[in-house]
């Protein structure tokens, strides 16, 4: 039987008023004119503000949400600078519906000078922030334990290792394999304890200007010659990207963890490809938890792979310590990445489907004149 394909005549789509589409959108959309008067809202906006269209459209945005509201500030910035601006994880107070946690995005309407379109979303990065705060909790619980473990486990372990080395000198060659095994495994446990110990390091980071392209190149070379041999690396760099305000060694370690995960997700199948990207995103700001401040995070660094994708059961706990589905994994890699990004005042997000997983870091830019952070080649 031949399947019948019904072609949609173009005129059907052209006849569909764009308002119908806007009215069906589940996210609030508002349009303001050059004087700040609200000229259009969709039903999701009415629901969001707990008020009808006639009431909302009879006033300016400043009157609706208050002059000091971050929503009003965003609309003014879009209007004055004629750029699109996004703010994430903002607490928005509305007179009738109380405080809501949203992402806001504003764009200038090019055909009408001074007009601004705003969309609001109650999800994504707002949730990312919550999750990051949860990771903080997870990290803290590891911290106390790590300090105890460092003492209580590492000392006896070094005793065991030393004893195994002594025995190694007197045993038959075929038994030396066993003493080697003892040494290797004790080294592995020490490595895990060291990783956990990094969580308890609460000192403020020493930060300088970091050329993130140099860091990514360094990681690419490590991968090509070692853990990602045979995989293709693609660099999608914005050459004009300004330096990151960061700690080079910590950023290198975090990005290396991400690229290693990418290589491990690809595995030994051929055709593996890891894309390292950078971009400048103007107008990405984020609320600082517990304060009214906002930080600009215009520098984006992304690691994408065409591996098997993140399994569903791990998605919601990915950045927590000890979450792993690898036989030899500790599950500390991403927890440490989240800590490093947080220590830099940045955020990390991910998207994943089979053959396309990407981790995206948003980081702050350096004030002009900041000295470069030293290159410490020992880390390689
Ligand atoms: N790029 C990716 N693609 C698919 N799954 C991933 C990717 N990155 C991380 N994961 C999943 O997240 C889990 C946690 O990663 P994490 O780096 O924290 O620990 P790990 O890699 O398992 O162990 P370790 O880093 O200690 O070797 C991994 O076990 C893996 O299942
Ligand atoms: Mg890992």
Helix (H, G, I), strand (E, B) or coil at 302: strand
- What mean pLDDT do residues 359-369 have? 89
Q: What is the pLDDT, as a whole number, of residue 34?
A: 95
Whose Cα sits closest to atom 23 in ligand 1?
329
- Other C-beta atoms within 10 Å of 361: how many? 25
Nearest Cα residue to atom 7 of ligand 1: 261
Nearest to 212 by CA among 247, 243, 250, 233: 243
320 lines ligand 1 (CB under 6 A): no
Ligand 1 nearest-atom number relative to CA 331: 19
Q: Among 60-64, 82-86, 145-149, where is mean pLDDT lowest? A: 145-149
**Overall average pLDDT of the 192-201 stretch:** 75
pLDDT at residue 126, as a whole number: 47
pLDDT digits over 230-247, tens only?
999 999 999 999 999 999
Is the minimum distance from the CB of 314 to ligand 1 under 6 angstroms?
yes
Average pLDDT over residues 367-372: 80
**pLDDT score of 131 more than 60:** no
**CA–CA distance, 267 with 269 (Å, rounded to integer):** 6
What share of the chain has pLDDT > 70, as a percent?
Answer: 85
**30 forms bridges with which residues in the sheet?**
41, 118
pLDDT reading at 319 higher than 70: yes
Ligand nearest to C-alpha 263: 1
| Highest mean pLDDT out of 51-55, 76-80, 114-118, 329-333 | 114-118
Among the ranges 6-15, 106-115, 147-156, which has the highest mean pLDDT value?
A: 106-115
- Topology classification of domain 17-123: Beta-Lactamase (3.30.450)
Q: Is the CB of 262 under 6 A from ligand 1?
A: yes
Q: Which residue has the higher pLDDT, 53 or 375?
A: 53
Across all residues in the chain, what is the average pLDDT? 84
Give me ligand 2 centre to Cα 143, in Å: 19
Residue with tokens 């870091």: 361
- Closest C-alpha residue for ligand 1 atom 9: 261
Closest ligand to the CA of 324: 1
User: What local confidence, expressed as pLDDT, does residue 296 receive?
Assistant: 83
Which CATH code for domain 208-379?
A: 3.30.565.10
Residue nearest to atom 5 of ligand 1 (CA): 310
Q: Is 309 in the pocket of ligand 1 (CB under 6 A)?
A: yes
Which residue's C-alpha comes closest to atom 14 of ligand 1?
Answer: 324
Report CA(324)–ligand 1 centroid distance (Å). Answer: 6
Q: For residues 146 and 160, which has the higher predicted lDDT (pLDDT)?
A: 160
Q: Which segments of the chain are extended strands (E)?
A: 29-32, 38-41, 85-94, 98-108, 116-121, 208-210, 232-236, 244-246, 273-280, 284-287, 294-296, 299-305, 347-353, 356-363
How much is the pLDDT for 208?
92
The one-character DSSP state at 110 is T
pLDDT surpassing 70 at residue 41? yes
Q: Would you say the CB of residue 323 lies under 6 angstroms from ligand 1?
A: yes
SS3 (DSSP) at 125:
helix
- From ligand 2's centre to the CA of 334, what distance in Å? 6
16-30, 182-196, 278-292: which range is least confident on average? 278-292
* 53-76: average pLDDT: 90
């Amino acid at each position: 039987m031949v399947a019948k394909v019904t072609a949609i005549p173009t005129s059907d789509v052209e006849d569909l008023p764009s308002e119908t589409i806007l009215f069906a959108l589940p996210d609030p959309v508002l349009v303001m004119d050059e004087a700040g008067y609200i000229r259009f809202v969709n039903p999701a906006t009415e629901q969001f503000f707990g008020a009808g269209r006639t009431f909302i459209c009879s006033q300016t945005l400043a009157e609706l949400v208050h002059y000091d509201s971050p929503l009003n500030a965003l609309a003014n910035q879009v209007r004055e600078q004629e750029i699109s601006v996004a703010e994430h994880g903002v607490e928005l107070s509305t007179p009738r519906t109380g405080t809501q946690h949203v992402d806001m995005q504003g764009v200038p309407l090019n055909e009408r000078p001074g007009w601004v379109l705003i969309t609001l979303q109650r999800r994504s990065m707002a949730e990312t922030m919550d999750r990051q705060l949860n990771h903080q909790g997870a990290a803290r619980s590891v911290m106390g334990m790590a300090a105890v473990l460092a003492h209580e486990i590492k000392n006896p372990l070094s005793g065991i290792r030393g004893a195994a080395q002594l025995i190694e000198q007197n045993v038959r060659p075929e038994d030396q394999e066993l003493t080697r095994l003892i040494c290797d495994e004790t080294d592995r446990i020490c490595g895990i304890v060291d990783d956990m110990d990094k969580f308890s390091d609460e000192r403020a980071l020493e930060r300088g200007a970091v050329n993130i392209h140099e860091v990514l190149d360094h990681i690419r070379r490590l991968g090509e010659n070692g853990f990602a041999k045979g995989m293709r690396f693609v660099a999608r760099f914005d050459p004009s990207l300004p330096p990151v305000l960061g700690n080079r060694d910590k950023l290198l370690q975090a990005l290396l963890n991400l690229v290693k995960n990418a290589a491990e997700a690809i595995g030994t199948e051929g055709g593996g490809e890891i894309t390292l990207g950078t971009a400048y995103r103007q107008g990405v700001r984020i609320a600082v938890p517990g304060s009214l401040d906002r930080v600009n995070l215009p520098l984006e660094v992304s690691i994408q792979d065409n591996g098997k994708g993140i399994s569903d059961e791990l998605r919601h706990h990915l950045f927590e310590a000890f979450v792993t589905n690898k036989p030899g994994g500790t599950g500390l890699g991403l927890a440490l990445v989240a800590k490093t990004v947080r220590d830099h005042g940045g955020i990390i997000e991910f998207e994943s489907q089979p053959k396309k997983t990407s981790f995206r870091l948003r980081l702050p830019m350096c004030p002009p004149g900041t000295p470069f952070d030293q290159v410490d080649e020992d880390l390689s």
